[in-house]
Chain A
């Protein structure tokens, strides 16, 4: 068994592009500026970025690319240019999580079909509508030809991507993986959230992308890479009460049991968990589950109110956990609270009942 570690990360968030800007603003207790008006009012969006600056040879490809794929590729480039980068890319695996995919572009495609007829459908748009388009473009731009998956299980999709990377490295299936998640906030998502009364997940809407490089400790040490955190594993389950599959109705007992399983399997004492990064940190069921499993109030990140939430942000929270473990002085929240133990719990639960609990340790 190989030990999976996180060595680089790329964060594209409403609170900054790239590790340095994000950490500076996070450490200063800043919050992103919410959108003032329109269907996404109150939500948080990523500042403009220019992908061709980081992939100068792929201009024709970039012109065809949808915005979600650009978010994914930009965060991949940020991970490449962060710290130790990818190392050898030929066998690099890719894992991306996205629940809603290219919702905005899909809507546009269907409206064009309705308004102008099928003969006017843009053939360049359709390939972008599949959820794995972003992973495909990232492979083309980086040259990564290892195994590749795209996960879409609602609010655990970003966690699923990182978990797959960790399992793949631990079992020796591959030696390194660029893993993360992305979601965009646009007019259609905003309107759909309003119409369904179903924020996905709970909290102000956000967007962004985060990718982490997960590799074996042996590979990282051989190339002299800085190890930000050790990923001790991720455990998934269903915490759904048997009701409607379309609602977010998590059973706190089931979530608590899953956290206990993750602690046991990762060899982590509950007292060692010094920070919780939950998908819905203010949700009563989640808070109850965490308190029951850890037996005390543990510092929890306030990312939800500072930069919004989105279904794939489990990857972002994994990246943030790695940063918090690499620097004990980095505050957990805007109030300046520090983690009070060496390990981090990344917890996601959402619509459909899927739950994931992941444990990270310091290097």
Chain B
């Protein structure tokens, strides 16, 4: 008998809203966080568009959340760490937790990401004065914050967590895999509470790489649309508090969602391209549904990986048809990346937060920028603004380079599955 896992808190810092109230409003209204990149000069790239978090994300509300939960809002470890600390503060506040209570050895940390302090560490190298040797002038801090595990180090120090800790870096499925890891730790008794999520700041490395691969759109991402040309890189973080349902109940915590299942699989096909028949995507979704023990017919909504690249969206649609059959054609399957940009290693957590907000507030997150149906993509993308709906059971997908596919199954806190 596995232990049921529930979500007792979550927080998000995204290009369409810093903190859950703004993120929820942005999702519902169809906001789009894409604009000209201001963090660095992007004029020489194929696309100069990105989805940035503008200004200082330390809003009054999040400062108060950090104060209330005992989180120091360190800024010297870079943007990724700051976004993650802010999302952590909001998640802990919602869960009614303070760092004083996290050092019990029963609380773990599983975090996902790709870029950590890369943006900051690029600065000295890319702006090297003529005749200077990089290794003579680079501040050691720039080197130390580059490894992807650094974000978890910062969260670990901030929280005093003493239970299991890990960083998973599987490109765009990093956060989804970290969330799945936390769920499995609770189920197996390794921990009774796990802080999970992902964070990634925008940087030249990822923007340049996706430009070189010609996977970026010149203006905006248009997932599932016939005119789609690619993604736009975004940035952000989201953190969730997972708990053993019995422990959450015992301390009187409010439950915001039931985390029911996790599925993952390797495509064993290509370094960057998905299997054309959609079987990789289908495997991740099917394994997650089997892990959850729920029939695909009960699923109300899929939050797609939905990058807006021609190949991803087509194969994800085919994968959905393999899993849900004819029902996939009319099923709401939308892409939050159309609003937030592709937040890479954070995207799985950001998008799970979007699903939870939809469950809480009774709406389906939309696909914005959609206007022309692709005859090969037969699904309901929830075009352009949130749609009022009662959302009980959802799947959230993340598919990554290296053929790493992962899916989560999450349910409304009041949904009784009768399994």
Tell me how far the C-beta of A319 lies from the nearest C-beta in chain B, rounded to whole angstroms.
Answer: 20
Residue of B nearest to A129 (CB): B209
**In this assembly, does B171 line the interface, its C-beta being within 8 Å of a C-beta of chain A?**
yes
Contact B204 A113 (CB under 8 A): yes
Contact A139 B168 (CB under 8 A): no
Question: Contacts A136-B404, A237-B165, A238-B161 given: A109-B143 contact, CB under 8 Å?
Answer: no
Tell me how far the C-beta of B269 lies from the nearest C-beta in chain A, rounded to whole angstroms.
Answer: 7
Per the bound structure, the CA–CA distance linking A207 and B126 in Å amounts to: 28
Per the bound structure, the CA–CA distance linking A117 and B168 in Å amounts to: 31
**In this assembly, does A224 line the interface, its C-beta being within 8 Å of a C-beta of chain B?**
no
Which residues of the partner chain A approach B167 to less than 8 Å between Cβ atoms?
A: 151-153, 157
Contact B266 A236 (CB under 8 A): no
Which residues of the partner chain B approach A173 to less than 8 Å between Cβ atoms?
A: 184
Cβ 8 A contact of B270, one of A119, A140, A192, A242: A140
**B342-373 with Cβ < 8 A to chain A:** none
Contact A147 B162 (CB under 8 A): no
**In this assembly, does B296 line the interface, its C-beta being within 8 Å of a C-beta of chain A?**
no
Residue of A nearest to B2 (CB): A171
Cβ 8 A contact of A246, one of B148, B150, B187: B150
User: Interface digits, B124-140 against A, CB 8 Å rule (1 contact, 0 not)?
Assistant: 01101000000100101
**In this assembly, does A277 line the interface, its C-beta being within 8 Å of a C-beta of chain B?**
no
Which residues of the partner chain B approach A25 to less than 8 Å between Cβ atoms?
A: none
**In this assembly, does B156 line the interface, its C-beta being within 8 Å of a C-beta of chain A?**
yes
User: Interface digits, A215-243 against B, CB 8 Å rule (1 contact, 0 not)?
Assistant: 00000000000000000000111101011
Per the bound structure, the CA–CA distance linking A123 and B45 in Å amounts to: 13
Residue of A nearest to B191 (CB): A236
Contact B157 A244 (CB under 8 A): yes
Tell me how far the C-beta of B131 lies from the nearest C-beta in chain A, rounded to whole angstroms.
Answer: 15
User: Interface digits, A42-79 against B, CB 8 Å rule (1 contact, 0 not)?
Assistant: 00000000000000000001001000000000000000
Which residues of the partner chain A approach B268 to less than 8 Å between Cβ atoms?
A: 139-140, 142-145
Contact B149 A99 (CB under 8 A): yes
User: Interface digits, B165-181 against A, CB 8 Å rule (1 contact, 0 not)?
Assistant: 11111110000010001
Which residues of the partner chain B approach A192 to less than 8 Å between Cβ atoms?
A: 143
Tell me how far the C-beta of A318 lies from the nearest C-beta in chain B, rounded to whole angstroms.
Answer: 16
**In this assembly, does B54 line the interface, its C-beta being within 8 Å of a C-beta of chain A?**
no
Question: Contacts A101-B148, A121-B211 given: A140-B205 contact, CB under 8 Å?
Answer: no
Contact A130 B169 (CB under 8 A): yes
Cβ 8 A contact of A254, one of B162, B267, B287, B403: B162
Which residues of the partner chain B approach A194 to less than 8 Å between Cβ atoms?
A: 135
Contact A139 B205 (CB under 8 A): no
User: Interface digits, A149-193 against B, CB 8 Å rule (1 contact, 0 not)?
Assistant: 111111011001000100100110100000000000000000110
Chain B facing A: main interface SS: mixed
Question: Contacts A118-B208, A171-B188, A195-B138 given: A132-B402 contact, CB under 8 Å?
Answer: yes
**In this assembly, does B145 line the interface, its C-beta being within 8 Å of a C-beta of chain A?**
yes
**B256-279 with Cβ < 8 A to chain A:** 264-272
Which residues of the partner chain A approach B214 to less than 8 Å between Cβ atoms?
A: 123
Contact A237 B264 (CB under 8 A): no
Contact A145 B283 (CB under 8 A): yes
The count of residues in chain A whose C-beta lies closer than 8 Å to any C-beta of chain B is: 76
Of A12-20, A298-306, A347-355, the stretch lying at the interface with chain B is A347-355
User: Interface digits, B387-416 against A, CB 8 Å rule (1 contact, 0 not)?
Assistant: 000000000000011111000000000000
Per the bound structure, the CA–CA distance linking A194 and B133 in Å amounts to: 14
Contact A127 B271 (CB under 8 A): yes
Which residues of the partner chain B approach A61 to less than 8 Å between Cβ atoms?
A: 271
**In this assembly, does A146 line the interface, its C-beta being within 8 Å of a C-beta of chain B?**
yes
**In this assembly, does A267 line the interface, its C-beta being within 8 Å of a C-beta of chain B?**
no
Per the bound structure, the CA–CA distance linking A353 and B152 in Å amounts to: 10
Contact B168 A245 (CB under 8 A): no
Residue of A nearest to B118 (CB): A106
Residue of B nearest to A100 (CB): B147
Which residues of the partner chain A approach B108 to less than 8 Å between Cβ atoms?
A: 236
Cβ 8 A contact of B148, one of A137, A152, A240: A152
The count of residues in chain B whose C-beta lies closer than 8 Å to any C-beta of chain A is: 71
User: Interface digits, B47-86 against A, CB 8 Å rule (1 contact, 0 not)?
Assistant: 0000000000000000000000000000001000000000
Per the bound structure, the CA–CA distance linking A127 and B212 in Å amounts to: 10
**In this assembly, does A122 line the interface, its C-beta being within 8 Å of a C-beta of chain B?**
yes
**A93-124 with Cβ < 8 A to chain B:** 94, 99-101, 106, 109-111, 113-114, 117-119, 121-123
Which residues of the partner chain B approach A157 to less than 8 Å between Cβ atoms?
A: 149, 167
**In this assembly, does B96 line the interface, its C-beta being within 8 Å of a C-beta of chain A?**
no
Per the bound structure, the CA–CA distance linking A140 and B204 in Å amounts to: 29
Contact B128 A114 (CB under 8 A): yes
Which residues of the partner chain A approach B135 to less than 8 Å between Cβ atoms?
A: 191, 194-195
Contact B209 A237 (CB under 8 A): no
Cβ 8 A contact of A152, one of B122, B147, B188, B205: B147
Which residues of the partner chain B approach A132 to less than 8 Å between Cβ atoms?
A: 169-171, 400-402, 404
**In this assembly, does B153 line the interface, its C-beta being within 8 Å of a C-beta of chain A?**
yes
**In this assembly, does B250 line the interface, its C-beta being within 8 Å of a C-beta of chain A?**
no
**In this assembly, does B218 line the interface, its C-beta being within 8 Å of a C-beta of chain A?**
no
Which residues of the partner chain A approach B125 to less than 8 Å between Cβ atoms?
A: 110-111, 114
Per the bound structure, the CA–CA distance linking A267 and B205 in Å amounts to: 48
Contact A135 B166 (CB under 8 A): no
Question: Contacts A114-B125, A152-B149, A237-B164 given: A133-B402 contact, CB under 8 Å?
Answer: yes
Per the bound structure, the CA–CA distance linking A128 and B188 in Å amounts to: 34
Contact B212 A123 (CB under 8 A): yes
Tell me how far the C-beta of B115 lies from the nearest C-beta in chain A, rounded to whole angstroms.
Answer: 10
**In this assembly, does A41 line the interface, its C-beta being within 8 Å of a C-beta of chain B?**
no
Which residues of the partner chain B approach A145 to less than 8 Å between Cβ atoms?
A: 265-268, 283
Tell me how far the C-beta of A148 lies from the nearest C-beta in chain B, rounded to whole angstroms.
Answer: 4
**In this assembly, does A295 line the interface, its C-beta being within 8 Å of a C-beta of chain B?**
no
**In this assembly, does B105 line the interface, its C-beta being within 8 Å of a C-beta of chain A?**
yes
**In this assembly, does A28 line the interface, its C-beta being within 8 Å of a C-beta of chain B?**
no
Contact B401 A236 (CB under 8 A): no
Question: Contacts A152-B167, A192-B143, A245-B150 given: A130-B162 contact, CB under 8 Å?
Answer: no
Cβ 8 A contact of B205, one of A109, A131, A237, A257: A109
Known: A127-B272, A171-B187; 4 extra A-B contacts, CB below 8 A, are A64-B271, A117-B44, A152-B149, A236-B108
A-B contact pairs, 17 of them (CB 8 A): A99-B147, A110-B125, A113-B205, A130-B401, A132-B171, A145-B267, A148-B265, A151-B168, A152-B147, A156-B166, A157-B149, A237-B162, A242-B157, A245-B150, A352-B152, A353-B153, A354-B165
A-B complex: 3 closest residue pairs judged by Cβ atoms:
A136-B402, A126-B209, A352-B153
